[in-house]
Amino acid sequence: MENFFHMSARGSSVGQEVRAGLTTFLAMAYIIAVNPSLLEAAGIPSGAAVTATCIGAGIMTILMGLFANRPLACASGMGINAVVAFTLTGLCDGDWHAAMAVIFIEGIAILILVLCGLREAIMDAIPASQRHAIAAGLGLFICLIGLINGSIVVNDDSTLITMGALSDPNYIVAMIAIFSTFVLYCMNVPGEILIGIVIAVIVGIPLGVTATPTGIVSSLDFSTFGAPFLTDESGVMGIAKVVASPVLLMFVFSLMMSDFFDTMGTAFAVAKQGDFLTADGKVEDIRPILIVDSCAAAVGGLVGASSITTFVESASGAADGGRTGLTSITTGVLFVLAAFFAPLIAVVSSPATTGALVLVGFLMMDQVQDIDWNSKLDGLPAFITLAGIPLTYSISTGIGLGFITYVVVACATGNAKKVKPLMWVAAVAFLVSFLIS
């Protein structure tokens, strides 16, 4: 095991990796309930959606650990699953098989780009200041996700967002999760993130936030597997509908842009916490990560789980000591087991993970010190990226705004020659994506 994962060389151990894998799983466990609830709106049976969500996430996370040997976990991506449920299925005349075919084709397209070296080349073309801004922006985004999950930040008709009610049990559990995690972190207690989650789960029992499990074991339903090649009432395969529709093929491009750069931002964020981000902001061993992630997108469509992507919550496990693929394998195995014990896993509420996400957000903010704020070319685009990711609630949108700003500022300051060709391509592609979305 040591020869395969190189734990000692990365300052880790089996116990540390397993603990980190459990932390990552608990931080991501909400997807087991959330994804099926969204896909059910698209017409997918709930039981089948649970099976697809857990098995798809488990298999691809295990493969990430085996092939990339980095602490990254995969699951159905938030955002795209909502697009599948409320937009894409409608464009497919209510046929969720065709919607999953769009996801499947999008994943294959990204995989081709990776194998051709284009995806990696674009990442290498990104200026160091933008890489640091993406990582810091992800920190704010992760923190915002945690605060929303804990009802500390809520919707408001007048100000868009505001602070939640202190009397809300979710708010109370989330605050306890934050401060218990902070205290443990300040006391240098190993496993502070995982312990903070456990404390919050326990506190949530009398407050009614930690739900009583509706059961222990659940049966598996594989009826969504092979979705793109299944037929609707008319006898037409979903993938055939997509290939014949220019509108759906255009949707493939739009989703590809989102998946393409979401993963890039997540990789930067987790690499920072997992100590595999170089001094100039590059992710070590990025190619196998991108290959597995691209395959995951296609597999998500194939099994009917929506696009499976690398989860930014992976940073919580990396922050808890995860350094190798054993962290991912642990998380993946837990996802597979969760397919059988989904009612039991559901007791880990979103507020209970708030402390983990907020602390990870804090740890990622040290990236801002590596940005030259006195330089217009570095500072202005970095600021747009840093602010854009959390404020648009989209990793890819924030990155796109930053790229476009970088090109514009470079031209305005007489530095157009500093913009690498692929940055021009990426900026134009984002602009087109924004215009057609």
pLDDT 10s digits, 181-240: 999 999 988 778 888 888 999 999 999 998 887 778 888 999 999 999 998 777 889 999
CB atoms within 10 A of CB 408: 14
User: What pLDDT shows up at residue 76?
Assistant: 93
Average pLDDT over residues 121-149: 85
d(Cα 286, Cα 192) in Å, to the nearest integer? 28
Average pLDDT over residues 163-192: 93
Whether residue 268 has pLDDT greater than 90: no
Closest CA to 35 of 294, 338, 391, 394: 338
Whether residue 33 has pLDDT greater than 90: no
Confidence of residue 153 (pLDDT cuts 50, 70, 90): very high
Let me know: does 84 contact 106? Beta carbons within 8 Å.
Answer: no
Whether residue 47 has pLDDT greater than 80: yes
Let me know: does 332 contact 97? Beta carbons within 8 Å.
Answer: no
How many CA atoms are closer than 13 Å to the CA of 55, on its beta-carbon side? Answer: 20
Whether residue 248 has pLDDT greater than 90: no
SS3 of residue 386 by DSSP: helix
Whether residue 69 has pLDDT greater than 80: yes
CA atoms 170, 86, 248, 234: torsion sign: positive
Highest averaged pLDDT of the listed ranges 60-69, 120-129, 145-154: 60-69
Beta strands at 153-156 and 160-163: parallel, antiparallel or unpaired: antiparallel
Closest CA to 135 of 257, 296, 5, 318: 318
Residues 6+ apart with CB under 8 A from 312: 138, 141, 142, 145, 265, 266, 269, 270, 395
Extents of the domains making up the chain = 1-369, 372-436
User: What pLDDT shows up at residue 233?
Assistant: 74
User: What pLDDT shows up at residue 187?
Assistant: 93
Whether residue 437 has pLDDT greater than 80: no
Q: Which carries the bigger pLDDT value, residue 117 or residue 222? A: 222
User: What pLDDT shows up at residue 59?
Assistant: 98
According to the 3-state scheme, what is the secondary structure of 10-24? Answer: CCCCHHHHHHHHHHH
Q: Which carries the bigger pLDDT value, residue 142 or residue 403? A: 403
User: What pLDDT shows up at residue 343?
Assistant: 78
Confidence of residue 38 (pLDDT cuts 50, 70, 90): confident
User: What pLDDT shows up at residue 377?
Assistant: 96
Q: Which carries the bigger pLDDT value, residue 318 or residue 363? A: 318
User: What pLDDT shows up at residue 272?
Assistant: 84
**Percentage of residues in the chain having pLDDT higher than 90:** 52
Whether residue 261 has pLDDT greater than 80: no
Q: What is the mean pLDDT of the chain?
A: 89
Q: Which carries the bigger pLDDT value, residue 357 or residue 172? A: 172
